[in-house]
Every structure is written in C-alpha cells, then in structure tokens.
C-alpha cells in the first residue's frame, strides 16, 4: 500500500550529487567558522596554552601555514593576528562570492 517510490538511475545520481554538495558546503562552512574563531582568539590575544586556543590554533594551522612562509606573512595586523591569518580568512570568505558571481553571469 504505502511503498516508497522507486528511484531511477538518474534520480539516484542527482541525490548523490546533492549529498556531495551539501557535505562539501558543510565542511567549507566549518573551516570558515574555525578561521573566524581563530581571528577572534588572536585579536583578543588568547594564548595557545588555553585549551580552546590550542584546539582552534592546531585545527586551523594547516590552512594558515602556507601564507606564513610568504614575505610579510608574519607581520602583525591587530592583536596577535598576522597578515597570513587575515588573508586566509578573507580568501575563505570571498570564495562563495566568486562562485555566486560566476553562476549569475551564465
């Protein structure tokens, strides 16, 4: 009587594609939020000795590390935040805007 609808091959492929997109967006949002928290902790000069600072700094270090190797990457901006920290967050914040603008132009 009340059976689940049968999904064709195309519908399953669309569902998988949508699931993959949602997972990717969730991971992206989590990384961007962690980078924002990192900026907040650095602006308040929270040391890595505090457990929350240690967790956030360790989780976001792989994203910031490449920019710290560039000239000027370790220059202070505000609080303990460096140019590498701010640039990493700005890049992560601008990526959705670029993707949105690119899709609208089609």
pLDDT in tens, 41-56: 999 988 889 999 999 9
pTM: 0.74
The tokens describing 35, both together, are 């980078």
Which residue has better confidence, 26 or 12?
26
The residue extents of the domains of the chain are 25-104
Which residue has better confidence, 71 or 10?
71
44: alpha, beta or left? (left if phi > 0; alpha if psi -120 to 50): alpha
Taking residues 78-97, what's their average pLDDT? 88
The tokens describing 33, both together, are 């939020």
Which pLDDT belongs to residue 58? 94
Which residue has better confidence, 84 or 96?
84
Q: Rounded CA gap, 22 and 56, in Å?
A: 24
Taking residues 82-91, what's their average pLDDT? 91
């Amino acid at each position: 009587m009340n059976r689940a609808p049968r999904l064709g091959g195309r519908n399953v492929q669309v569902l998988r594609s949508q699931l993959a997109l949602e997972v990717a967006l969730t991971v992206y949002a989590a990384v961007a939020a962690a980078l924002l928290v990192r900026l907040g902790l650095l602006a308040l000069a929270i040391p890595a000795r505090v457990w929350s600072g240690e967790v956030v700094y360790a989780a976001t270090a792989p994203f910031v590390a490449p920019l710290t190797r560039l000239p000027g990457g370790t220059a202070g901006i505000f609080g303990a935040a460096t140019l590498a920290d701010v640039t990493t967050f700005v890049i992560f914040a601008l990526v959705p805007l670029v993707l949105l603008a690119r899709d609208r132009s089609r």
